[in-house]
Amino acid sequence: MRRIASIWLPYLASDLARRHHPAWTGRPVALIAEEAKRQFVVAPDALAAASGIAPGQTLADARALAGDLAVTAFDPAAVTRALDGIAQWCVRYTPATAPTGDDGAFLDLTGSAPLFGGEATLLMDLVARLARQGFTAQAAVAGTPGAAWALARFAPGMVAASATERAALASLPVEALRLTPETGATLRRLGLDTVGALYDLSRAALARRFGEELCRRLDQALGRVFEPISPLREVPLWRERRDFAEPLLQPEDVAAVLRRLIESLCARLASEELGVRGLECFGFRTDGSTARTGIGTSRPSRDPAHLARLFVEKLSLLDPGEGMDGMVLNPVGIETLAPEQTTLTRDGVQPGDLAALLDRLANRLGTTNVFALAPVESHRPERAQRHVAPNTAARNLRWPDGVRRPLRLFANPEAIEAETESPEEAPLHFTWRHVRHCVHHAEGPERIAAEWWRDAAPAAHETRDYYRVENEDGERFWLYRQGAGETSRWYLHGLFA
């Protein structure tokens, strides 16, 4: 049975403002915006609302109602970031979390609640933790997102058992169906004040009078129509989590817990002959922030020592701050990994040794900075290769035989000044980056045809004559002449070892 929790943060914007201004304790707070040189209230807090201040009022009217009103500018981007952060923090309860609207979040608790002592206990823990972070929150659980949303706002703390949504919603106001203000006002004028008043009415009549939106919202809340939620990230099939009775304060303790999480996950994976292509770790701090880091592997792995070693240089990203009271480890890219037979003598390099080296390099330097080259069918040398994963470098690809290319090839050839006895011969001297080189030995030319069908630029229609040249110091260069006759131009394209 599907179980969904909804969180409502009615004063999210003002709660954020209070977190940044502790001196405002006990004072009403209002966030304001300006339009056409007119300042008006966007988000009052609970104290301001109790004084009669409401969204849309001018700042002057609001100050007349509360003389000690604290005011700050409304920042919608900051509110969105905070809501996303809260939804990510809720990963401690379930991997499927998603912000909804601009003041709430959905949590798919299917299968997760028993880990926290049941749904009611989970809700109390969730609301209490948010309160300690300075957020006013209400939450509820039901079998559908629509019902959970309604209960969180109009019956906070309620846990509606599966298939009881109809009874749980009956006495709630029609606004609980997430209707537009205009639709809600029209229903009330007709005497339809509660959700239950809509149950026995003709659906055709409701659709004609209010459109399909009312019927859709009612069906979603009652579970007649499936309503999906879109989690912030892909929901992992396997995960490991730990909650701590006392917050972790030392980085060494965080590292020790991470190792245990990796060992536990690898043991489960081994029983199913599976491996992972990466791991993602979340640490939940007591101040409500979330620490996050991850590693990747070049091939499936379930070696706990190897995976833990990859995290060593990233442990600083799991700084416990003022305390870390929970951690979650999610696998990334689970694949089949059957046991491997290694040689008895361990002579030479084993595949696992190379994979471990590639993993360490990729996690230290970045995955985009560790790669191999594979050939591409192209006349132009700068297009004749592409980046591929290092462990699949040339597994099924062959480089052209008998073709000599420099160890370092410039992505963009650099223009040089060359001195030649005749336009059709290798240069005697050339100047590159303000340094003059005397050519001691030259080989070539190697003529490479143009790819006129790929580029519209006139230069792309010209052939290139390449020369391998060596200066008096033994340095070797790859030069080419583009064009013919007196109008030809010289370029340096690469350096040999």
Does 130 score more than 90 pLDDT?
yes
Does 353 score more than 70 pLDDT?
no
What mean pLDDT is predicted for residues 423-436?
91
Q: What are phi and psi of 231, to 5 degrees?
A: -60, 155
pLDDT score of 395: 55
Does 311 score more than 70 pLDDT?
yes
Rg (alpha carbons) of the chain, rounded to whole number: 33
Does 348 score more than 70 pLDDT?
no
What mean pLDDT is predicted for residues 36-42?
90
What mean pLDDT is predicted for residues 388-406?
69
pLDDT score of 496: 94
Does 423 score more than 70 pLDDT?
yes
Does 342 score more than 60 pLDDT?
no
Domains and CATH numbers, the chain: 1-27+69-235 (3.30.70.270), 240-336 (3.30.1490.100), 408-495 (no CATH)
- Percent of the chain whose pLDDT exceeds 70: 93
Render 58-79 in DSSP notation, one character per residue: BHHHHHHH-TT-EEEE--HHHH
CB neighbour list of residue 112: distance below 8 Å, 6 or more residues apart: 93, 94, 122
Tens digit of each residue's pLDDT (9 = 90 or more) over 89-126: 998 999 899 999 999 999 999 988 898 999 999 999 99
Cα(410)–Cα(492) distance, integer angstroms: 8
- CB-based burial label for 53 (10 Å; 0-12, 13-18, 19+): buried
The answer to whether the beta carbons of residues 488 and 467 sit under 8 Å apart is no
Binned at pLDDT 50, 70 and 90, residue 404 comes out as confident
- CA 53 vs. chain centroid, Å, equals 38
Closest-CA residue to 422 (of 363, 488, 345): 488
Token readout for 425 is 């011969």
Does 266 score more than 60 pLDDT?
yes
Q: What is the chain's mean pLDDT, rounded?
A: 88
The answer to whether the beta carbons of residues 141 and 4 sit under 8 Å apart is yes
> Angle of helix 212-222 relative to helix 145-154, nearest 10 degrees?
90
What mean pLDDT is predicted for residues 465-470?
95
Structure letter (DSSP) for residue 143: S
pLDDT score of 197: 94
Tens digit of each residue's pLDDT (9 = 90 or more) over 131-143: 999 999 999 999 9
* Amino acid identity at 290: T
**480: which strand partners?**
466, 491
What mean pLDDT is predicted for residues 348-356?
60
Token readout for 444 is 């070539």
Max Cα-Cα span within the chain = 101
Cα(248)–Cα(484) distance, integer angstroms: 72
Cα–Cα distances in angstroms (integers) from residue 47 to residues 50, 54, 69, 461, 468, in the given order? 5, 11, 9, 74, 80
Does 46 score more than 60 pLDDT?
yes
Helix (H) or strand (E) holding 258: helix 251-271
What mean pLDDT is predicted for residues 152-177?
95
pLDDT score of 352: 57
Token readout for 417 is 């000044």
Tens digit of each residue's pLDDT (9 = 90 or more) over 267-288: 999 998 899 988 999 999 988 8
Q: Outline where 95-180 has alpha helix (H).
A: 119-132, 145-154, 165-169
pLDDT score of 459: 60
Cα(303)–Cα(265) distance, integer angstroms: 10
Tokens 């709660």 correspond to: 15
Positive or negative, the Cα torsion across 295, 298, 301, 304? negative
pLDDT score of 128: 94
Q: What are phi and psi of 367, to 5 degrees?
A: -65, -30
- Percent of the chain whose pLDDT exceeds 90: 60
Does 460 score more than 60 pLDDT?
no
> Angle of helix 181-189 relative to helix 203-210, nearest 10 degrees?
120
Cα(156)–Cα(165) distance, integer angstroms: 14
pTM over 0.75: no
Token readout for 143 is 């079998």
Token readout for 341 is 């037979």
What mean pLDDT is predicted for residues 300-329?
90
| b/e burial code for range 279-295 (CB count within 10 A of at least 16 → b) | bbbbbbbbebbbbebbb
Cα(406)–Cα(476) distance, integer angstroms: 9
Cα(297)–Cα(307) distance, integer angstroms: 8
The answer to whether the beta carbons of residues 29 and 48 sit under 8 Å apart is yes
